[in-house]
Amino acid sequence: MDLGIKGRAAIVTGASRGIGRETARQFLEEGVRVMICGRNAETIEKSRAELAAQTGGEVHGVVADMTQEADIARLVQSAQQTLGTVDILINNAGQMYSGRFAALTDAGLKEQFETKILGFLRAIRLVYPIMKAKKWGRIVNIIGGAGKEPDPYMFGSGITNSGLLNITKSLSTEFGEDNVLVNAVCPGWVATNLWQRNAQGLQQELGVKSEEEARRLAARKNSLNRFGKPEELANAIVFLCSERSSYITGVSLNLDGGRLKGLW
């Protein structure tokens, strides 16, 4: 299927690995020109070079910390300079802030807020006028299931994720008349470095002795009884940015193998 976005310009934040990197790769396969960012110069350049070699596409990299307003401004400016415009924004850079109420700290919550609320909002603030002027835009926020179904172990992430769902819906309503579509995806457990970094905590939370057992128990909550792969997330993210998704806005798609059992 031709997704109809060849030649479009996309920013993918947090694309040195994981879901962001795979999303960038699939955009490049579709002929989209891509700007990626991450906080580490070495890994972002390595990722950029590998993506270019794999796909033959046009991909640029910038070192930017999405908790820093000046870095976000530099990222968007670089995209405008090198790609000429911005048609697509994937707000992906982020962490998981796991742990129960007793583990929550003000500093931890502030950092989570800087990354997954202000980081997303600031990027949207800068790209929206560009998209509005062209009457074409796609914004996808990568959120997480704890925003829809509170989980005591995901207390910190759940707070910001719920806010992001509200932001997504509200902006989709406001930007609709400009043909700027705003959607979200809510990943469940995806086999990335993020899961690896949280494996020990989840092991403790589930009261099991090995990482393998923790993974098995976590996966069992999913109807598909397994973790997701980054490419399975990217498939849906890229589709939401395509010409084929022209009548979809304000949705938050659960990409969790059937983890959430509620009706939304």
Cα-trace Rg, the chain: 18
Candidate ranges 92-100, 164-172, 205-213, 239-247; the one touching ligand NAP (CB under 6 A): 92-100
Identify the residue among 20, 137, 156, 257 touching ligand NAP (CB under 6 A).
20
Over the window 187 to 226, marking each residue x when it contacts ligand NAP by CB under 6 A and - when it does not, the resulting string is x-xx-xxxx-------------------------------
Smallest gap, in angstroms, from Cβ of residue 116 to ligand NAP? 6
Candidate ranges 87-95, 126-134, 172-180, 234-242; the one touching ligand NAP (CB under 6 A): 87-95
Residue 94 is encoded by which pair of tokens?
Answer: 């982020």
Q: Which helix (H) or strand (E) holds 60?
A: strand 59-63
The alpha carbon dihedral of 113, 9, 14, 242 has a sign of positive
Q: Which of residues 38-57 bind ligand NAP (CB under 6 A)?
A: 38-40, 43
Is residue 99 involved in binding ligand NAP (CB under 6 A)?
no
Is residue 127 involved in binding ligand NAP (CB under 6 A)?
no
- Helix axis angle, 211-220 relative to 193-206, nearest 10°? 90
Q: Which residues contact 129 (CB under 8 A, 6 or more apart)?
A: none
Residue 79 CB neighbour total at 10 angstroms? 26
Distance CA 57, CA 210 (A): 41
Residues lying near ligand NAP in the complex (CB under 6 A): 13-20, 37-40, 43, 64-67, 92-96, 115, 142, 144, 187, 189-190, 192-195
